[in-house]
Amino acid sequence: MTNVPSPDQQAAVLRETLAAALNYLERLPEMPVGATQSLESLRASIDKPLGAAGRDPRDVLTDLVENIEGGLNNSAGGRFFGWVIGGVVPAALAADWMTSTWDQNSGMFAVAPAAAVVEETCGRWLLELLDLPAESSFALVTGCQMAHVTCLAAARHAVLKQHGWDVEQHGLYGAPPIRVITGDQWHGTIDRALRMLGMGRAHMVDVPVDLLSDDPARRGKLTADALEKALAAHADEPMIVLLQAGDLNTGSFDPFNEVIPLAHKYKAWVHVDGTFGLWVRASKALKHLSDGVEHADSWATDGHKWLNVPYDCGYAIVADRIPH
């Protein structure tokens, strides 16, 4: 091989990378929160001709740092309050650097033994932290969008199997239609996940919730009465019920102790969008908001909000390992 960097060359570029990272972090508290470059200026800075020859990696690093200057939303800082985006704590940043350094193909134990055990341990810790059934299966994914896709794929398998249809063997052609019942304040990641899985927006049953109720205990929540009407209307079909744990837009927690047993009575799979609010499970003061959520069939949440780990990081948890 040619142009293989020597240990000294590798060390030089990594030292410069560390210096650039520390410089950014040191300036972060005083930097503008939003980007200061326009789309046009960023394109002029970044979109250079593709060269035919390689370059010194230190020059590549220098160009990268200089060209993106002013083009970042400085969300890692403490003054950024948009989109529920968190910063990164030092331990998480350091672990992210080491992950890239080790560069493991972490798809299976044989290829990356330590990475597989790290993932296994993360799953066990999170189930303990969130007080969810210890026998549940678990997956690290790129964010709550893909956590929904993972969990709802498991749901699709399970509810179609109840109706005698093997979706892995036969696909969706000719399958019984699945009804997805949810309060009408669902997040856009739900709609996208269902479309990606071939279930389609038209199969969602939106149950109106009362956003203006004088009773905070009912505001924005799916009620048992409204849910049962929807379940009864589709009782002979495969059904998935989507519930909210701290909905990103309303902050509402559905009454899990009431609606999960009701959904199970109609043999529906219950999936919980816990992108933001499932983390109350880790708080003694707030855990009561999620009472009963542990009886659902699957849960999706993010790590890059409350845990302050680097993007992208999400968690898919499924109570029954077989559909997962």
63: how many CB neighbours lie within 10 A of its CB? Answer: 14
pLDDT in tens, 113-141: 999 999 999 999 999 999 999 999 999 99
For strands 204-207 and 179-183, give the pairing. parallel
pLDDT mean over 227-248: 95
pLDDT grade, residue 3 (50/70/90)? low
pLDDT in tens, 36-78: 999 999 999 999 999 898 889 999 999 999 999 999 999 988 8
For strands 269-273 and 204-207, give the pairing. unpaired
**Does residue 316 carry a pLDDT above 90?**
yes
Of residues 202 and 152, more confidence is placed in 152
Least confident of 39-48, 211-220, 240-249, 278-287: 211-220
Of residues 94 and 306, more confidence is placed in 94
pLDDT grade, residue 187 (50/70/90)? confident
CA dist 175 to 34, 143, 166, Å?
A: 48, 29, 9
The rounded percent of the chain whose pLDDT value lies above 70 is 99
Of residues 319 and 6, more confidence is placed in 319
Segment of 132-141, 184-193, 197-206, 214-223 carrying the highest mean pLDDT: 132-141
**Does residue 1 carry a pLDDT above 50?**
no
What letter does residue 320 receive in the DSSP assignment?
S
The C-alpha atoms of residue 317 and residue 152 are separated, in whole angstroms, by 11
**Does residue 206 carry a pLDDT above 90?**
yes
**Does residue 2 carry a pLDDT above 60?**
no
Look at residue 210 in the predicted model and tell me its pLDDT: 83
**Does residue 217 carry a pLDDT above 80?**
no
Beta-ladder partners of 183: 207
Asked whether the beta carbons of 227 and 257 are under 8 A apart, the reply is: no
pLDDT mean over 72-101: 90
**Does residue 224 carry a pLDDT above 50?**
yes
CA dist 232 to 223, 224, 228, 265, 271, Å?
A: 14, 12, 6, 11, 19
